[in-house]
């Protein structure tokens, strides 16, 4: 979805390095999410943010941190990258107001392929 962009699209880094993945959206959505995708494990939630001042851990937040710099920007950092963080990372957005406040559809960016050597 061109309304959700991720940079970089591909990244190779070394163990111990700190890296940041960035996500921007022009959809005007209030909620943003970071997932990782691994073969055979599907999509797993790392962090989510319901608004600029509301950030929450997902199911696999260890080793990651996030920053919601503005409603349209949500970045994911790996403080000290390790090889098992090699994966596809997806940012997603949603707007709870579109679904009556109880459920919402998430729209995904194109992904970042991260390799940690």
Binding site for another protein (CB under 8 A): 1, 4, 33, 40-43, 45, 48, 50, 56, 58, 90, 92, 99, 102-111
Number of C-beta neighbours around residue 69 at 10 A: 11
CB closer to another protein out of 84 and 103? 103
CB closer to another protein out of 17 and 113? 113
- Shortest Å, Cβ 7 to another protein: 14
- Shortest Å, Cβ 15 to another protein: 26
23 within 8 A of 29, measured Cβ to Cβ: no
> Which one-letter DSSP state was computed for residue 98?
G
23 within 8 A of 76, measured Cβ to Cβ: yes
3-state secondary structure of 97: helix
CB closer to another protein out of 75 and 106? 106
CB closer to another protein out of 73 and 96? 96
Tallying the residues shown for the chain, one arrives at 117
C-alpha 38 chain-centroid distance: 14
- Shortest Å, Cβ 33 to another protein: 8
């Amino acid at each position: 979805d061109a309304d959700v962009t991720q940079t970089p699209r591909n990244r190779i880094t070394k163990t111990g390095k700190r890296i940041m993945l960035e996500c921007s959206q022009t959809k005007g959505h209030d909620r943003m999410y970071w997932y990782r995708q691994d073969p055979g494990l599907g999509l797993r939630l790392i962090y989510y943010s319901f608004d600029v001042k509301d950030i929450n851990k997902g199911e696999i937040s260890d080793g990651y941190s996030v920053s919601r710099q503005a409603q349209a920007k949500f970045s994911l950092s790996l403080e000290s990258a390790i090889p098992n963080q090699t994966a596809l990372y997806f940012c997603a957005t949603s707007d709870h107001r579109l679904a009556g406040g109880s459920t919402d559809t998430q729209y995904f960016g194109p992904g970042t392929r991260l390799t940690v050597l």
